[in-house]
């Protein structure tokens, strides 16, 4: 009996040791992946510095080049565990992937001023959107990344005005309004995702304040479609009271 118990526990110990080794291998790769993610954000933060607004194409190009390293690290990560064990280890990398999804979404917005698709972000990361393929970008991780755009774009709206670009905040405001409407269509059951969405209204409010400010100062570019500026009309109405 004692020998049988000893044999069983030796087997348990071997299993736990292998499990620990696998998790440590994953943690090492994730640390390297997150470091590359920080390097990408350092490059992207240049849009807020001095003439950064005018250098957006070059900044995006340098950021995309760093995603080559991201793809190689994720390939190592995907090879570190069986295809069907993705969610068993998901907690190790989900925050890093969310930040990378944000960076990828920001690059695509800066390049095209539209919302990145999940497929575009997956391609930049070198992954897929299908669970059956193993390492993929989880939908909630993608949505977390998209929601992080709010804070960054509200900051960009402010810095655009400082750089003399008065039309960009207006385009950002329109985009954020559409993004907000899109998220309202979702039934968000994930607590952290719902809380993050709840915070989006503060980012939108900050952007609207920037647009309102440039409007009442007469800095807002004339509407090309001939429509009246609602912000100017509001300001005028308040002044008549």
Residues 216, 235: contact at Cβ < 8 Å? yes
Residues 169, 161: contact at Cβ < 8 Å? yes
Q: Nearest Cα to 52, choosing from 99, 121, 114, 110? A: 110
The CATH number assigned to the domain with range 1-139 reads: 1.20.58.190
Q: Which residues, listed in sequence order, are joined to residue 128 by a DSSP beta bridge?
A: 136
Reported as a single tens digit per residue, the pLDDT across 196-241 is 999 999 999 999 999 999 999 888 887 644 444 544 444 444 344 4
The CATH number assigned to the domain with range 148-241 reads: 1.20.58.200
State yes or no: 120 annotated in a binding site. no
- Domains 1-139 and 148-241 in one fold: yes
Reported as a single tens digit per residue, the pLDDT across 41-70 is 999 999 998 788 889 999 999 999 999 999
Which residues, 6 or more positions from 26, have their beta carbon under 8 angstroms from its beta carbon?
Answer: 77, 80, 81, 89, 92, 93
Q: Which residues, listed in sequence order, are joined to residue 146 by a DSSP beta bridge?
A: none
Domain residue limits, the chain: 1-139, 148-241
């Amino acid at each position: 009996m004692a020998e049988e118990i000893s044999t069983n526990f030796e087997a348990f110990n071997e299993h736990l040791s292998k499990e620990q080794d696998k998790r440590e291998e994953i943690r090492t790769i994730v640390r390297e992946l997150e470091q590359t993610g920080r390097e990408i954000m350092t490059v992207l933060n240049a849009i807020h510095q001095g003439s950064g607004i005018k250098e957006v194409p070059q900044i995006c190009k340098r950021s995309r080049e760093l995603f080559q390293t991201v793809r190689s690290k994720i390939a190592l990560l995907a090879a570190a565990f069986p295809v069907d064990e993705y969610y068993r280890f998901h907690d190790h990398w989900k925050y890093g992937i969310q930040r990378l999804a944000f960076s990828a979404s920001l690059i695509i917005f800066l390049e095209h001023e539209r919302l990145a698709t999940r497929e575009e972000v997956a391609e930049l990361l070198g992954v897929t959107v299908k669970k059956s393929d193993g390492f993929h970008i989880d939908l909630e991780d993608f949505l977390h990344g998209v929601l992080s755009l709010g804070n960054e774009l509200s900051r960009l709206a402010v810095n655009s005005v400082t750089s003399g670009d008065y039309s960009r905040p207006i385009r950002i405001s329109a985009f954020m309004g559409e993004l907000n409407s899109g998220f309202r269509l979702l039934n968000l059951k994930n607590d952290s995702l719902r809380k993050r969405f709840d915070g989006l209204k503060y980012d939108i409010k900050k952007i609207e304040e920037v647009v309102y400010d440039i409007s009442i100062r007469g800095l807002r570019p004339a509407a090309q479609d001939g429509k009246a500026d609602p912000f100017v009309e509001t300001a005028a109405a308040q002044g008549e009271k």
